[in-house]
Amino acid sequence: MSRTTPSRSASSRTAASREAPSPAASPHDASPGTGTARANPPRKRLRPRRRGLRVPAWTATLTWKAACFITVMCCALAALLGVLVHVSVTRQTVEQARDKALSRLEDVTKQYEAGEPLPPFASLDPPELPASLRELAVAGKRGTVVAQSYGRPTMWAAGPADDRALAVRVDYSQSARTINGLDQAILGSSVLAIGATLLVGAFAVTRVTRRLHTTARVARRISAGDLDARVADPRTKNPSRPLDEVATVSSALDAMAATLQGKLQAEQRFTADVAHELRTPLTGLTAAAGLLPPGRPSELVRDRVQAMRSLTEDLLEISRLDTRTEKVELDVHELGLLARRVVRGSGTETEVRVARDTYVETDKRRLERVLGNLVANAHKHGAAPVELTVDGPVVTVRDHGAGYPDYLLAHGPQRFRTESGGGSTGHGLGLTIAVGQAQVIGGELEFANAPDGGAVARLTLPEYVRLDDDACPTDAQGDAP
């Protein structure tokens, strides 16, 4: 007798019942935010305030995203391969057990028809025979099914025998252990493969991100003014070697930095050359202006010549600041006393307030240059009263005029930019020199507008820290008023 279709259907139903997931709960069991379901929603329903969760910064990194992608893809691939191997091996194992059980059933049927005694693994209408297989045998068909018998997995095969069910059983424990062992091996190997792939992928991605971080760090150095910074990716040194995307970006950044450095150096040389070339004729003009007879025209000529000399000296100072070749002569000075001397030397009506005096280690000449330019700018482009306040290592110069223009607050002082808040006055090179000299002595110069009107320049200096209780030395002892 040949095998029938119900035998496969019974086995398929058994396997399906073993792998089918449990049904999910209905989404209409309860309304969101309440304990009971509502038939009709109210007319007005207050929505709960959503509090945005701040995502950690490390989740935005390329390494984290690559690790998540690799993990998800490995898990999906391992699950797919595991299911395919499990289904294939289980089907093969079940087929072998079914063939064995049907072969025994055929032999037992011949023995039963010959009137011979049945072997121990065969019987008529055994009580532990599954009901579905019993009904199939009574109906005159043969079939097999895997079920539990006395606490052990058993492959049953049954067929008709005088309107009764003749059944044989085959121990299925070894096959079940084989399938369970295979599942555990698939799970373990999948975990190991995922871990190994994740480590290798993280290592590869980290190498790329490290090169990207290096490129970004060099770009920040260039934007801060270090035009000598270069990425110098080793992959760009061999022309015959193909470049990846990171090496292409690094090469483009180095080329941009080199081009920018060349242009800025050319501009710096031009400014310095122009200033140097102007000094000789200006010296002659100054001497010639001194020979002119007294009078208003002579005063105008001497005034314009002096303005030209000041502009030339400012250009030379800016060119020296641009080349970053200035040398600082540090010493310890009393900040309040130095500020008073700057105001006294400027000859302006500037109120000096010392909220908290301190000592600073700085270059006195450059600091006086910074404060003198700030005070002069406040009187020239602002309005009285002008106040200079010393509060520890912070010096603030404030006027009560129209304030700094928007471009200066956004981008800092710009050379020869003549726009201003009121539209009538501008800013020359004084603030540009003040910013450059402040950077040379390690200070930070900030510009802002006061809420009630007026420009505010705040200079923060590195404070001198005394290691003992002795008085700080100062070379400004003779400067006290």
> pLDDT by residue (tens digit) across 198-244?
888 888 888 888 888 899 999 999 888 788 889 988 888 777 778 88
Tokens standing for residue 29: 């069991």
Which of 63-67, 111-115, 262-266, 464-468 bottoms out in mean pLDDT, i.e. has the lowest?
464-468
Q: Which of 30-34, 137-141, 168-172 has the lowest mean pLDDT?
A: 30-34
Pick the more confident residue, 297 or 457: 457
How confident is residue 42, by pLDDT bands cut at 50, 70 and 90? very low
Containing 373, the helix (H) or strand (E) segment is helix 364-381
When pLDDT is cut at 50, 70 and 90, the band that residue 375 belongs to is: very high
Task: Look at residues 333, 391, 390, 342 and name the one whose alpha carbon lies nearest to residue 370.
Answer: 342
Q: In whole angstroms, give the CA distance from residue 128 to residue 325.
A: 100
For the residues of 340-357, what is the DSSP string, one character each?
Answer: HHHHHHHTS-EEEEEEE-
Dihedral-angle region of residue 372 (phi above 0 means left; psi in -120 to 50 means alpha; beta otherwise): alpha
pLDDT band with cut points at 50, 70 and 90 for residue 340: very high
Greater pLDDT, 272 or 340: 340
Least confident segment among 37-41, 172-176, 186-190, 214-218: 37-41
Give the pLDDT confidence score for residue 244 in this predicted structure.
81
Residue 128 gets the label, from left (phi > 0), alpha (psi -120 to 50) or beta, of alpha
| Maximum distance among all Cα pairs of the chain, rounded to whole angstroms | 155
The per-residue pLDDT for range 126-156, each reduced to its tens digit, is: 888 888 888 888 888 889 998 888 788 889 9
Taking the C-alpha atoms of residue 370 and residue 343, their distance in angstroms, rounded to an integer, is 12
pLDDT for residue 50: 55
The residue ranking higher by pLDDT, 259 or 38, is: 259
Residue 63, number of CB atoms within 10 A of its CB: 15
Q: Phi-psi region for residue 150, left (φ > 0), alpha (ψ -120 to 50) or beta?
A: left
Assess whether pLDDT exceeds 50 at residue 251: yes
Quick one: pLDDT at residue 120?
86
Q: Is the pLDDT of residue 14 over 50?
A: no
Q: How big is the chain by its Cα radius of gyration, in Å?
A: 46
Mean pLDDT of the chain: 79
**pLDDT score of 383 more than 60:** yes
Lowest-confidence segment of 114-123, 237-246, 381-390, 449-458 by average pLDDT: 237-246
Is the pLDDT at 15 greater than 70? The verdict is no
- Nearest by Cα to 397 from 431, 425, 426: 431
Q: Which two tokens stand for residue 304?
A: 């314009």
Task: Report the range of poorest mean pLDDT among 25-29, 308-312, 334-338.
Answer: 25-29
Whether the per-residue pLDDT at 424 is higher than 50: the answer is: no
pLDDT of residue 399: 92
User: Is pLDDT at 476 greater than 70 in this prediction?
Assistant: no
pLDDT band for position 458 (50/70/90)?
Answer: very high
Which of 41-55, 274-288, 455-469 shows the lowest per-residue confidence on average (mean pLDDT)? 41-55
Rounded mean pLDDT, 109-132: 87
pLDDT for the residue numbered 368: 92
Question: Residues 252-269: what's their mean pLDDT?
Answer: 86
Q: Is it the case that residue 23 has pLDDT exceeding 70?
A: no
Across residues 156-184, what is the average pLDDT? Answer: 88
Fill in the amino acid letter for 85. V
Is the pLDDT confidence value at 34 over 70?
no
* pLDDT reported for residue 471: 52
pLDDT band at 266 (very low <50, low <70, confident <90, very high): confident
Q: Is the pLDDT of residue 387 over 90?
A: yes
* pLDDT the model gives residue 9: 35
